[in-house]
Amino acid sequence: MTTQTGIARLIVSPQRFLNRWLGKYDFSFVFWIGFIVILLVLIGLPSYWLVLRSFMQVNEGGFTLSNYIEVLTNPRFREAALNSLMLATGTGVLSVLIGVPLAWATTRTNMPLRGLMRVLLLGAFSVPTFLGGIAWILLAAPTSGWLNRVFIELTGIEKGPLDVYTMLGAIFVVGIYSFQYVFLMVSSALEFVSSELEDAATVLGAGTFATTFRITLPLVLPAIISGFILSFLEAIALFGSPTLILIPARINIVTTEIWQQFQYPSNVELASAFSICLVVITAALLLLQRRLLARKGYTTLTGKAGRKRLINLGYWKWAFLAFCLLVATLSLFLPVYVLLRTALSKSWGRPLDASNLTLAWFEDVLFKQPFTSGAIQNTLIYAAGAATFAMLVGIVIAYIVNRKLVRFYRVLGFLPMLPLAIPGIVIAVGIFSAYSRPPLVLYGSAAILIIAFTTRFLPIAFSNAGNIFTSINPELELAARNLGATQATTVHKITVPLVQRGLISGWLLVFILSVRELSCAILLYTNNTQVISTALFQLVTEGSYERVAALGIVMLAIIFTTIGITYKFLGRDFMLEKG
């Protein structure tokens, strides 16, 4: 009878049993070590195999430098590297030209609708770059683009002026989805700049724009350069939209060369050498960006509590508002409109009238086509799995580092941030090399994509958790320990309830990023593990633009719904804080 009662209590109250177990046994050290081992496997194993394969002979396995010699001396690869540098530099310059005026207008001036414009500009950041590239192919393809067809109908000229299949077209498309890096960094820097020096310049006779160019912008120059570097890195590591736009123009870049090395017959060794060279470039630029941010010249002016005064632009405020609306139209309204228009058309080349309206393409991708419906299901499962795995590892490692629970906590804090310096397609090369051979043969399974997404966005989860733990006074945990609670009980009873809200927001952010990820998935998916991003890429290559548009709208619905839920429960500043 006693045994039955004990079992009944365990079934009825598992939480009570867990609490007693945690209070009786302190297994925290084993727990910490276990997650440190997981971190080392996640980061170390792909890195090891990436470097090793880059020095291996193709199909032979012996040591060689020929892969690096081929990368550095082959004219085709040199041309791809120069094209990547051209794309990245152009994107960085365009991002500065767009992002700096927008940041200044929405932060320091009396421009109308500043809050709404900020939301719209950041909303464009939620649109995956490759989906924006698809939209601009529908808008500005030389013969079939919607904008070109409208121009021809209005003017009677035989050929439209726009051609997205050029290097300038690629720079434009990538730039309108990368300027947010500059926008966010400069906006943040301008918040710290007091108006006192600007007021002094105005008193001495300087005009508004002279003061801005000679006083304000030099103070935030480190942030401008830093934003340029981030936009540069985004462009040089990007795969989706540059590939869709530049391959028809027969312009190769580094990421497309890495992808092509995985086509039959594959050459993983050469792809690995190419990847290492790309990592060296990105790591060097990130180091430069970190040093520039460490200077933080814009924090020297604080005045009286950092007093700020909105600048009266007069009639110019309408010009800046028009510029903001133009950027929002190019990056958000027009792409979403053309995707929705195409998805609702029986044939996207015909005018959108009652005879051409249909919902058949949504029915097709959601229910009729196993290829696309399976991709949607896989995306939700893999993104949820990656968000959970990344947050678990990020939370535990951030807690160990923040509370200095091991001697090597500084090194441990560096490891989760390593993927930040590694482009997604390079992470995919490393993960393929690590998990396509015994003893861990995961290629072709859902696990390899979940691991890839986890590794890719582990820096987001780790930094999110680290910021939360930094804001919690460790004396609360110390008080619990002094009252006899074990480390495990302290974390379970004290820490987790305090950080729960912030950790949910981190989970949702990783989920959103995983839903839209293409660079990692493109080398790791199979027919049974398609996700929305790879399905879109495949459908574009097949020319099925109606299905592409419908599936793209489904992806945007998932992303915007998740963001809406996050805003509802966690506040409107969610994306600003986590960005």
Judged against a pLDDT cut of 60, whether residue 305 lies above it is answered with: no
Tell me what pLDDT residue 491 has.
66
- With residue 491 as reference, give the H or E element that holds it: none
Find the range with the poorest average confidence among 363-367, 415-419, 546-550.
Answer: 415-419
Return the percent helix, strand and coil in the chain, to nearest 5: 75, 0, 25
Tell me what pLDDT residue 299 has.
45
Token pair, residue 439, equals 């003893």
* Mean pLDDT (whole number) for 256-278: 87
Judged against a pLDDT cut of 70, whether residue 3 lies above it is answered with: no
Find the range with the poorest average confidence among 34-38, 208-212, 502-506.
Answer: 208-212
The set of long-range contacts for 310-313, using a CB threshold of 8 Å and a minimum separation of 24, is 310/108, 310/109, 310/110, 311/108, 311/109, 311/110, 311/198, 311/208, 311/212, 312/109, 312/110, 312/208, 313/109, 313/110, 313/111, 313/208
Tell me what pLDDT residue 300 has.
43
Judged against a pLDDT cut of 50, whether residue 277 lies above it is answered with: yes
What domains sit in the chain, N to C, each tagged with a CATH number?
15-33+359-579 (1.10.3720.10)
Token pair, residue 506, equals 């981190």
pLDDT in tens, 58-115: 776 678 888 899 888 889 999 999 999 999 999 999 999 999 999 989 988 889 988 8
- With residue 445 as reference, give the H or E element that holds it: none
For 70, the 3-state DSSP assignment is: helix
List Cβ neighbours of 107 (8 Å cut-off, separation of 6 or more): 114, 187, 190, 191
Token pair, residue 2, equals 């006693």
Tell me what pLDDT residue 414 has.
86
Find the range with the poorest average confidence among 309-313, 322-326, 445-449, 530-534.
Answer: 309-313
Q: Name the nearest CA neighbour of 225 among 157, 316, 143, 286.
A: 286
* Mean pLDDT (whole number) for 335-361: 86
**Prediction pTM value:** 0.85
Give the integer Cα–Cα distance in Å for 411 and 308.
40
- Average pLDDT across the chain, whole number: 83
Say which residue the tokens 């391959």 belong to. 247
Identify the bridge partners of residue 56 per DSSP, sorted by sequence position: 63
pLDDT in tens, 428-468: 999 999 998 888 889 989 999 999 999 999 988 888 787 77
| pLDDT band, very low/low/confident/very high, at 1 (cuts 50, 70, 90) | very low
